[in-house]
Amino acid sequence: MPNIILTRIDNRLIHGQVATQWSGAIGINLILVANDEVASNPMRQGLMDMAAPSYAGTRYWTIEKTINNIHRASDAQKIFIIVDNPQDVLKLVEGGVPIKQLNVGNMHMSEGKRQVATSVAIDDADAEAFRKLRDLGVEIFIQRTPDIAKEDPEVLFK
């Protein structure tokens, strides 16, 4: 079974908070960005590689490739999966990726979304995906950085 330390939703994917705070706090050595668009965009991958911590490898896989290949990971790989929306997390879980914990870190405000936490805006489709993830046994929490208090995740299901 792959050693998935944490999965995080963050629209920005790999950036300063992920590189300097989360990666060290949770003790990972591999960051896997599961995102269909980024998997085929070498320029975005290069920018994220510059932000990634030097002690962690990076992979940029589609959702499908993640589902099909995550079980081949070595036990020595301490994996931090980063996605940009709850629907992709749901696809991963329904596809057999053993995600036990989901950190909701940053979901930008955009048209049709409502602000439910400090850095989280959702729409009805997001709320439905979060409800399904909860029903599948995924522990969901809202926390921007590891050094601040968690916010109430119940706001994600309404």
Given 11, 12, 15, 134, the catalytic residue: 15
Instruction: Identify whether the C-beta of residue 75 lies closer than 8 Å to the C-beta of residue 29.
Output: no
Print burial letters for 68-93: b (CB count within 10 Å at least 16), e (below 16): eebeebeeebbbbbbbbbbbbbbbbb
Tokens of 15: 């950036």
15 assigned to active site:
yes
Distance CA 24, CA 27 (A): 5
Instruction: Identify whether the C-beta of residue 83 lies closer than 8 Å to the C-beta of residue 14.
Output: no
Which active-site residues does the annotation give? 15
